[in-house]
């Protein structure tokens, strides 16, 4: 796809690119989601992250249709929910998402959780490989996979995931997981990049001083840190002004010393569900 000139992108192992900053619509109600996505596209976003379980794929599709932006200029991700996993159900899950989105293909299709108690994520991955071969998704990946989960699908399959989308924020930096997957060509994508409001970023020592030094908000500093780490990030907001602020992170940089300080903020503090427990 074509990323706006002022925005960074990462190259996937498929050879396609993904805008490094996108808009997420987790917990955005369907009746509000169309407005949110339209406003995001209007201010310059070209990467949208949704999921079947969010129950707002239809609204995302309406926004895309009404935006007038050529399909090839957008990067759309959706995800397969746990109940739709399995060799026989996976194709139907994507078909339903495509119908709701009003699209012929998605740019990235993810297994939402490994759901290890269900233990069908390996056969589900093989089904994703078949969908990838048909072109209904331009890339395939996973979400919330730990190294042990990745090892199983890598052993069974023939396609390396393009993305692993995981919880990642200053207090939980996923250094061990990233050291495992990134040398394999699996890019890291962050959900909850600002900690989902479950702790106060301003209480992290040094973060406020970095923000003050750059004349930026703490949230902008955290997003800039993600970008310089090479992580793909999609903060959620329903406010247009915040969307604009979140995009204002491309024309300045954190120093090497500030990046080292940011790394020291890692407290191994997970605030979301552990992948072993996401078995709904």
Residue 72: how many other CB atoms lie within 10 Å: 9
The answer to pTM > 0.85 is: yes
Distance CA 54, CA 38 (A): 17
Task: Name the one residue in this structure whose structure tokens are 């490994």.
Answer: 114
Examine the residue annotation and report whether 54 is marked as an active-site residue of this protein.
yes
121 in Cβ contact with 81 (< 8 Å): no
In tens, the pLDDT along 144-164 reads 999 999 999 999 999 999 999
**How would you classify the pairing of strands 75-80 and 17-19?**
unpaired
- The domain ranges of the chain are 9-201+230-251
Asked whether the beta carbons of 137 and 131 are under 8 A apart, the reply is: yes
- Phi (first) and psi of residue 19, to 5 degrees: -60, 135
Per-residue pLDDT for the chain (280 aa), expressed as one digit of tens each? Answer: 556 667 999 999 999 999 999 999 999 998 899 999 999 999 999 999 999 999 999 999 999 999 999 999 999 999 999 999 999 999 999 999 999 999 999 999 999 999 999 999 999 999 999 999 999 999 999 999 999 999 999 999 999 999 999 999 999 999 999 999 999 999 999 999 999 999 999 999 999 999 999 999 999 999 999 999 999 999 999 999 999 999 999 999 999 999 999 999 999 999 999 999 999 9
Topology, domain 9-201+230-251: TIM Barrel (3.20.20)
Q: Residue 31: what pLDDT?
A: 87
The catalytic residue among 54, 105, 121, 199 is 54
């Amino acid at each position: 796809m074509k990323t706006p000139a002022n925005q960074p992108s990462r190259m996937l192992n498929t050879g396609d690119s993904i805008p490094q900053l996108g808009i997420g619509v987790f917990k955005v109600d369907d009746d509000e989601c169309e407005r949110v996505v339209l406003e995001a596209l209007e201010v310059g976003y070209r990467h949208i992250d949704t999921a079947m379980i969010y129950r707002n794929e239809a609204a995302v599709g309406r926004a895309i249709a009404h935006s007038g932006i050529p399909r090839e200029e957008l990067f759309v991700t959706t995800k397969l929910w746990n109940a739709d996993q399995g060799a026989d159900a996976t194709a139907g899950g994507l078909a339903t998402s495509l119908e709701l989105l009003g699209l012929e293909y998605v740019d990235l299709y993810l297994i939402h959780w490994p759901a290890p108690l269900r233990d069908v994520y390996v056969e589900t991955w093989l089904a994703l490989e078949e969908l990838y071969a048909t072109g209904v998704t331009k890339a395939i990946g996973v979400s919330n996979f730990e190294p042990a989960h990745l090892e199983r699908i890598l052993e069974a399959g023939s396609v390396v995931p393009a993305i692993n989308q995981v919880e990642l924020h200053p207090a939980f930096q996923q250094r061990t997981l990233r050291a495992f997957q990134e040398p394999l060509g699996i890019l890291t994508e962050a959900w909850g990049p600002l900690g989902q409001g479950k702790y106060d970023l301003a209480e992290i020592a040094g973060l406020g001083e970095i923000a003050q030094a750059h004349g930026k908000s703490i949230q902008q500093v955290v997003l800039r840190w993600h970008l310089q780490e090479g992580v793909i990030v999609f903060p959620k907001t329903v406010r247009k002004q915040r969307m604009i602020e979140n995009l204002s992170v491309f024309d300045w940089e954190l120093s090497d010393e500030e990046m080292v300080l940011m790394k020291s903020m890692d407290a191994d503090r997970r605030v979301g569900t552990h992948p072993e427990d996401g078995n709904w």
